[in-house]
């Protein structure tokens, strides 16, 4: 049944194709942001989305997470269709972790409560167990001493790492990262990128929208260049960065190099 | 006051200046303290240190002295003093004397407090329900949404005193079982709840709107159903943002309980009214006014403190 969750048994690591997107269109009023996206991400694959602001990277991620309803096209998660009628959004979202550019931690809750809220309320995990797992995750990412702090007492880098931990606490099968370092001071970027590298090394399937070209080159199996709502070029990083085929990709990369960002 | 023209070297060159050097404001030297904000938010008048204290004390004495002088020098001063400020009448009205046909204003204020407390609980719950309905987007709720909007428009537009009359006189006339056999205080509280819920629901709505959409996205992206997201993520933040305006409405509610007296309920204002009719002296109203002030001023100061705390917290957040 189409409403059944993707990878119905989350305990068994699903193999094969994690995400398949076909003919995805998304408009905000008159403004068509995605103009027919086709993309497939394999399990354990890390795919980076690059492109100028407004090219549609964030909207694409938000569509996969069902935060934005799509106008046309289909998204599958491990073979189950997740767009269209009759889909339990909340069930789908349990399998997808998303981290936002602006952290979006809950400011009125401690770090620990930020992390345990969803496991306790959505998965029905007993509070004690949720707390234990949250502390384990926080300690894995060097944040255990911040467990009882409120978000506004943390640096941007720490907040973003907590946001990643909060998403991981739901044991997602795929992580969507939406320009997670763009709001950070330069000296705080690396601590967040290190966390993502660790996730990649652990085999996490990830779709990453980023402006960090060096990072994309290191971590991605494939890099997709988006412009005006279309995927212009989709290639392994070595190829895309050193030998871009499309003229639009070349122009974009030249601007990045000129700006000293690569 | 006299040394404003005579520049003295400021002890701390930055003292009392909001981000500007004393020598560059308007191109000319300004005495220290002129632009002082003291870090306590925008104040119209403020000066720092001992000199500031002296100035404010002197000006307070002058202003108050002038007001008292105007009162004392008025041709009818003595008559007014006797009619409104007579200590013996004030005491008599405060303790009351049923044999003489008047009630204790001091005891009657307890009914105002009771009505206020009961009304407040109902207003908080009812107004929240209205706000949530008005914020909902589900198509099935459309009719309730329309009714809620009409309700808010109606009760914000009709004077409270008319609502009290309508409920207090109309409901008993309906001759329904139970509903039509309540005390006037109950009808008064019902009218207060109906009227104030309309205002407070708008305050709630402003609070709900003040929580950024990204918080909703973060909660929903974790798989929280809408209701859970509202309960744990949105509402707590919304309520925190509206505590000062909520308290402001409740200060207003405290004194509007006096309007219930028009139904004949012996609350403080009505008791004072009865005294003035029996004894032909208005000092009883002064007693009622003092009692209402004793109720409202602490809440007003408390609200001020919350606003100040909130402002500081926001500044601290922005500084990071």
Q: Is the pLDDT of residue A135 over 50?
A: yes
Q: Is the pLDDT of residue B232 over 50?
A: yes
DSSP class of B35: T
Closest CA to A153 of B271, B85, B320: B320
Q: Report d(CA B44, CA B58) in Å as an integer.
A: 18
Taking chain B, what is the end-to-end CA distance rounded to the nearest angstrom? 40
Phi/psi at B127 (5° precision): -65, -40
Q: Hey, how many other C-beta atoms are within 10 angstroms of the C-beta on A196?
A: 24
User: What does the pLDDT read at residue B200?
Assistant: 96
**What is the ipTM score, two decimals?**
0.88
Output the six-digit token pair for B215.
């918080």
Judging by beta carbons within 10 Å of its beta carbon (0-12, 13-18, 19+), is residue B26 exposed, middle or buried?
A: exposed
β-pair type (A31-42, A222-227): unpaired
Residue A94 in any domain: the answer is yes
Chain B residues with CB under 8 Å of a chain A CB are 214-215, 217-225, 228, 232-233, 236-237, 240, 316-317, 320
User: A105–B317: do the CB atoms touch at under 8 Å?
Assistant: no
Residue A6 in any domain: the answer is no
| Domain ranges, residue A163 | 17-258
Contact (CB, 8 A) for A170 and A94: yes
User: B224–A108: do the CB atoms touch at under 8 Å?
Assistant: no
- CA neighbours within 13 Å on the CB side: how many for B63? 6
Phi/psi at A127 (5° precision): -55, -40
The tens digit of pLDDT for each residue in A153-196 reads 899 999 999 999 999 999 999 999 999 998 888 888 999 999 99
Q: What angle do CA A80, A83, A88 make, to 5 degrees?
A: 80
User: B223–A93: do the CB atoms touch at under 8 Å?
Assistant: yes
The tens digit of pLDDT for each residue in B109-139 reads 999 999 999 999 999 999 999 999 998 888 8
CATH no. for residue A74? 3.40.50.300
Topology adopted by domain B91-319: MetI-like fold (1.10.3720)
User: What does the pLDDT read at residue B4?
Assistant: 45
Q: Report d(CA A111, CA A144) in Å as an integer.
A: 9
A161–B contact, CB cutoff 8 A: no
Q: Is the pLDDT of residue A38 over 60?
A: yes
Packed helices B105-135 and B184-210: angle between N→C axes, nearest 10 degrees = 40
The tens digit of pLDDT for each residue in B8-25 reads 544 444 444 444 444 343
Chain A 62-121, residues with CB within 8 Å of chain B CB atoms: 62, 65, 67, 89-91, 93-94, 96, 98, 100, 102, 104-108, 117-118, 121
Residue A3 in any domain: the answer is no
User: What does the pLDDT read at residue A119?
Assistant: 95
Q: Which residues of B touch A5 (CB under 8 A)?
A: none
Q: Any idea which residue has 């000199």 for tokens?
A: B51
Give B268's pLDDT tier (boundaries 50, 70, 90).
Answer: very high
Where in chain B are the domains? 25-73, 91-319
Residue A101 in any domain: the answer is yes
Nearest to B222 among A93, A107, A108 (CB): A93
User: How near does any CA of chain A get to the CA of B222, in Å?
Assistant: 6
Contacts with A23 (C-beta within 8 Å, 6 or more apart), sequence order:
A36, A37, A38, A72, A73, A74
Q: Hey, how many other C-beta atoms are within 10 angstroms of the C-beta on A170?
A: 22
Domain count, chain A: 1
Mean pLDDT of B292-298: 91
C-alpha torsion A160→A161→A162→A163, nearest 10: 50
Q: Report d(CA A240, CA A253) in Å as an integer.
A: 9
């Amino acid at each position: 049944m189409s409403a059944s969750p993707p990878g119905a048994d989350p305990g068994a690591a699903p193999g094969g194709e994690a995400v398949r997107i076909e003919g995805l269109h998304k408009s905000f009023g008159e403004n068509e942001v995605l103009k027919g996206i086709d993309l497939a991400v394999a399990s354990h694959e890390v795919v980076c989305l690059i492109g100028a602001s407004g090219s549609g990277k964030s909207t694409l991620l938000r569509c996969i997470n069902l935060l934005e309803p799509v106008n046309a096209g289909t998204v599958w998660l491990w073979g189950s269709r997740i767009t269209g009628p009759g889909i339990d959004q909340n069930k789908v979202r349990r399998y997808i972790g998303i981290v936002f550019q602006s952290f979006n931690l809950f400011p009125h809750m401690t770090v620990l409560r930020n992390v345990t809220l969803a496991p306790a309320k959505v998965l029905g995990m007993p509070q004690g167990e949720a707390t234990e797992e949250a502390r384990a995750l926080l300690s894995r990412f060097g944040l255990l001493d911040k467990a009882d702090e409120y978000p506004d007492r943390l640096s941007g880098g720490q907040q973003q790492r907590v946001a990643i931990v909060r998403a991981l606490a739901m044991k997602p099968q795929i992580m969507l990262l939406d320009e997670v370092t763009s709001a950070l001071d330069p000296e705080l970027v690396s601590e967040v990128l290190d966390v993502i590298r660790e996730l990649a090394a652990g085999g996490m399937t990830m779709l990453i929208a980023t402006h960090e070209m060096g990072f994309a080159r290191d971590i991605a199996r494939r890099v997709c260049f988006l412009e005006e709502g279309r995927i212009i070029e989709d290639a392994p990083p070595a190829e895309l960065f050193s030998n871009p085929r499309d003229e639009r990709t070349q122009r974009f990369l030249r601007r990045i190099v000129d700006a000293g960002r690569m | 006051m006299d040394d404003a023209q005579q520049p003295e070297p400021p002890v701390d060159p930055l003292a009392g200046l909001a981000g500007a050097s004393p020598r560059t404001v308007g191109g000319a030297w300004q005495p220290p303290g002129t632009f002082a904000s003291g870090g306590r938010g925008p104040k119209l008048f403020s000066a720092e240190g001992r000199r500031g204290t002296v100035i404010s004390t002197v000006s307070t004495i002058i202003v108050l002295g002038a007001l008292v002088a105007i009162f004392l020098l008025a041709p009818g001063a003595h008559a007014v003093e006797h009619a409104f400020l007579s200590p013996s009448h004030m005491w008599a009205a405060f303790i009351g004397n049923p044999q003489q046909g008047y009630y204790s204003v001091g005891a009657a204020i307890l009914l105002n407090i009771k009505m206020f407390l009961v009304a407040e609980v109902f207003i908080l719950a009812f107004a929240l329900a209205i706000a949530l309905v008005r914020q909902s987007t589900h198509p099935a709720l459309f009719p309730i949404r329309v009714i809620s909007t009409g309700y808010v428009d109606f009760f914000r537009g009709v004077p409270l005193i008319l609502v009290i009359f309508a409920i207090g006189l109309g409901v008993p006339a309906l001759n329904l079982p139970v509903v039509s056999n309540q005390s006037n205080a109950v009808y008064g509280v019902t009218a207060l709840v109906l009227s104030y819920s309309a205002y407070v629901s708008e305050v709630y709505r402003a609070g709900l709107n003040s929580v950024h959409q990204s918080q909703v996205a973060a909660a929903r992206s974790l798989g929280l159903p809408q209701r859970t997201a509202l309960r744990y993520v949105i509402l707590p933040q919304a309520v925190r943002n509206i505590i000062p305006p909520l308290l402001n409405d409740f200060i207003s509610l405290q004194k509007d309980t006096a309007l219930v007296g028009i139904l004949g309920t012996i609350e403080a204002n009505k008791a004072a009214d009865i005294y003035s009719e029996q004894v032909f002296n208005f000092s009883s109203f002064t007693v009622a006014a003092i009692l209402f002030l004793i109720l409202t001023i602490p809440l007003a100061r408390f609200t001020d403190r919350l606003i100040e705390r909130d402002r500081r917290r926001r500044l601290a957040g922005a500084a990071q």
